[in-house]
Structure 1
Amino acid sequence: MLQPQANETAAASVAVKLPEFWKNDPAMWFAQAEAQFVLAGVTRDATKFYHIIAKVDQSVLCHISDLVANPPENDKYMSIKARLLSRFEMSAQAKMEKLLNSCDLGDMKPTHLLARMQDLTAGLKVDDGLMKMLFLQRLPGSVKAVLTIHDGTLSKLAEMADKMVDTTSTHVAAVAPPPSSQIGDIDGQIAHLTAEIRKLKEFTRSKHERNRSSSRTRPDTDDETVCWYHRKYGVQVGTSTESRRLSILDRTHSIRFLIDTGSDVSILPATRKDKTKPPIPFILHAANSTNIKTFDKRFLYVDLGLRRRFSWLQT
């Protein structure tokens, strides 16, 4: 006759069917495992411990090899759970960076996007206003324009966005073929543009040849250490012609931004008012590996002298 302990082990081996360990969401994986333990009536610490070991692959097993080789006398399950959560759970900073930079709508429904964003903010103190702004920023323009003026909850906004996206995706515009007269006009315009492009190429080629000949006779007194942009535009590309850094001016705020094609974020100097706030979890790192505190993230509408203004997320 089987003992109670053996009965539990035999029942657990049949009733508990855990999925493979989720490296990208260990907390939810343990929540599902514990739900199965309750349904199967598994209460023994050792039984839970060995079920967990059975569902991790070799890439995960190396993180708990000491616990597998020498299981602790007590709290086996809690020990292995704490170890795996500490190794695979996303940090607060990583969650914030992913929320700000990598969480896009793609082919998801807006309600699914919101659920993903709320999962990333679990345990973080994210303001509802910021959450609404980030959510609306990732929606199609036609949907965002309508929902921006709506005061409902985020869940309600996401449900409305689902209906709007479904509605717009079902409408297919029927395009009538243009009449033959318009086709003839288009052909004429194409021929004219082709001739203009040919003239432009010839002009550019002759100008390039003249520049090459003049560069051979340029006096030696020219400052070859100054880049072409500074020789041509001077202070328009920087604070002075002695600078080697390119920058661009925002006409609205009179702020000059450094042009750096290798940067990942755009930053603004913190004001005295900003420094009275507690730092946010988003931390920058200087070239000497020291941490740089940040105090806020805000959208700045900049005028770069082009045809329209741009919305730019600044740290």
Structure 2
Amino acid sequence: MSDLSPKVIRIRSTPKTIQLVPYWPDNAETWFLLAEADFCEHGITDQRSQLLAVIHALPREFSKYVTSQMLSPEVSNSYELLKASLLRRNALTDRQRLDELFRNIELGDQSAVSMLTRMKQVVGQCQFDEGLFRELFLTKLPQSVQTVLVTLEGTVIENLAITADKILEITKRSVPEICSMTKQTSSEDPAMTELCNSLQQMFRSNTHSKSSNRRPKSPQRRNSRGRSKSKPRSLKNPDWCWYHNTYGQEAKCCRKPCNFGNVSKSAGNYPAGTR
């Protein structure tokens, strides 16, 4: 009698595989988030399949983080083991993160947007006070840029970085170019027009302060209460010193050369002596 019982044929299924983007050593946390999103999109839930996909995306120098235990069929959480090993390598202590933020990140030749991105990468998933982070970002920008940005209260930090790059680009130009650009953008972008006007005022202030520094400063007044009633003379005599041009006979000091005393004697007035 023949055996008519059904035969069970076992077919070994091939695990699903996908090709992940190359591993990002400097931003492992974000890379794993993207990798796991790809796993979910393609329905890959098997740990071994996930492990092999990650291994194929790793640079050769990272092969030392793959252990024989992870490759063993007996291990059910091989992907999680490799992930934890790679994240430990990139883990920074709070002190290391602060040192990186305060000392090692500078604007340099990069854009403000790029600098902000790098600062966010260093902070990672850690909790960091937003106000402190904002202030730290501003302090890494040139003083001229900070002067404009501090007035933009309530603006998200990403938009501050974009505005900072615009200011940095504009400040490379001369004042006439800024004036010209203001006229061109007045009907197109009111915000940019306001920004240009602020920069023009800043340039004028800098120019005025520089020219003031070149001029000899007038001597500071002494005993200002006693002289506050004296009105400065509107006409200046080139042969008199600043004190006599300002206070006339009431001047308590005199700076040579000054012939006010000679003129006063010839006129029969009391001359103001040097004290």
Which TM-score tier does this pair reach, normalised by the shorter chain? Answer: 0.5 to 0.7
Structure 1 residue 56: Cα displacement: 2.4
Give the corresponding residue for 1:46: 48
Q: Cα–Cα, structure 1 residues 69 and 88, in superposed 2: closer, same or farther, change >3 Å?
A: same
Cα displacement (A) at 1:49: 1.2
User: In structure 1, which of residues 154, 159, 162 is the aligned counterpart of residue 162 of structure 2?
Assistant: 159
Is structure 2 residue 29 aligned with structure 1 residue 5? no
Give per-residue Cα distances to partners, 1:133-157, cap 9 Å, x unaligned. 2111111221112223432232332
| 3-state SS of paired residue (2:97) | helix
Q: How does 1:157-236 map to 2 (within 5 A)?
A: 157-169=160-172, 171=174
Name stretches of at least 5 consecutive residues in structure 1 with no aligned partner. Answer: 175-315
2:112 corresponds, among 110, 113, 118, to 110
Structure holding more strand per residue: 1
Percent of aligned pairs sharing the same letter = 28
Matches within 5 A, 1:80-99: 80-99=82-101
Q: Residue 43 and residue 173 in structure 1: after superposition, are their counterparts in 2 closer, same or farther (change >3 A)?
A: same
Alignment partner, residue 130 of structure 1: 132
Partner of residue 310, structure 1: none
By how many angstroms is 1:171 displaced? 4.8
TM-score, normalised on structure 2?
0.52
Check whether the contact 2:71–2:78 (CA below 8 A) recurs between aligned residues.
no
Aligned equivalents of 1:66, 1:121: Cα separation in 2: 33
- CA RMSD after TM alignment: 3.0
Instruction: Quote the offset at 1:72 in angstroms.
Output: 4.6
Q: Which amino acid aligns with 1:126?
A: F
TM-score, normalising length: structure 1: 0.46
1:69 shift after superposition = 4.9
Shift of 1:27: 1.1
What 5-or-longer segments of structure 2 have no aligned partner?
1-9, 178-275
Counterpart position of 2:103: 101
Aligned twin of 1:29: 31
Q: Which has the larger radius of gyration?
A: 2
Distance (Å, rounded) in 1 between the aligned partners of 2:78 and 2:127:
33
In the comparison of the two structures, how many residue pairs are matched? Answer: 168
Q: How far did 1:5 drift?
A: 3.3
CA gap of 1:123–1:26, structure 2 versus 1, over 3 A, is: closer
Distance 2:138 2:165 in 1: 13
Distance 1:48 1:117 in 2: 30
Letter in 2 for 1:5: S
Distance change in 2, residues 1:22/1:72 (3 Å): farther
Superposed displacement of residue 75, structure 1: 1.5
- 1:20–1:55: 8 Å Cα contact kept in structure 2? yes
Aligned counterparts of 2:72 and 2:175: Cα–Cα separation in 1: 64
